[in-house]
Amino acid sequence: MTQKKDKHKETAVKKTVKHTEKAGKEKKDSGSKKLKEELNELNDKYLRLYSDFDNYRKRTLKEKLEMQKSASQDLIADLLPVLDDFERALQALKEHKADDEAISGVELIYNKLFNILKQRGLEPMNSVGTEFNTDYHEAITNIDAGEEMKGKVVDVIQKGYLLNDKVLRFAKVVVGS
């Protein structure tokens, strides 16, 4: 009987060892699963943080470029009346048949100023004959202009300007009706 008990104990010990080994493997598997999950989670956080930083970098670079483009916007807007005065002066000189030298001198100064502003992104609007558009024009008045000019700009009272394809000053216009 002792042999039977010994065999029974031996079998019980073997079962316990197997069960312990199996539990150890399960712990290892669950431990490695947890580590893999943590690794995936940390990797995901890293990728999100990296993409957030990359988006931030791109956004700030874009903002810097926009700021550089429009940094001189106020100064250019303040110089627009000077351009208008030059244009009126040239027109008055030509109407009063002034010296060609005086006209060419004023034209030279006007062209220098206009070219400097043009290099900074200033563009005049060409409005006469185009469709009236509230995004670019400000209507001062309407006049009868016939069917072909209905809804179109007939005359420009004050020239409009674009700065880097954005409206700096709306053109004040007369619209045909």
| Beta partners for residue 137, in sequence order | 171
Cα dihedral across residues 74, 76, 79, 83: positive or negative = negative
Query: Are the CB atoms for 173 and 140 separated by under 8 Å?
Result: yes
- The answer for residues whose C-beta is within 8 angstroms of residue 80's C-beta and 6 or more apart is 161, 168, 169
pLDDT at 69 over 80: no
Tokens of 143: 């006049």
* CATH 2.30.22.10 for the 125-177 domain, yes or no: yes
Q: pLDDT tens across 1-59, in order?
A: 556 656 666 666 566 656 566 655 556 667 788 899 999 999 999 999 999 999 999 99
**Residue 73 to residue 67: CA distance in whole angstroms:** 10
pLDDT at 73 over 90: no
**Residue 106 to residue 143: CA distance in whole angstroms:** 34
**Residue 75 to residue 117: CA distance in whole angstroms:** 10
**Residue 114 to residue 121: CA distance in whole angstroms:** 11
Q: pLDDT tens across 118-142, in order?
A: 998 899 998 888 888 888 999 998 8
Query: Are the CB atoms for 126 and 159 separated by under 8 Å?
Result: no
* Torsion from C-alpha of 79, 175, 127, 163, nearest 10 degrees: 40
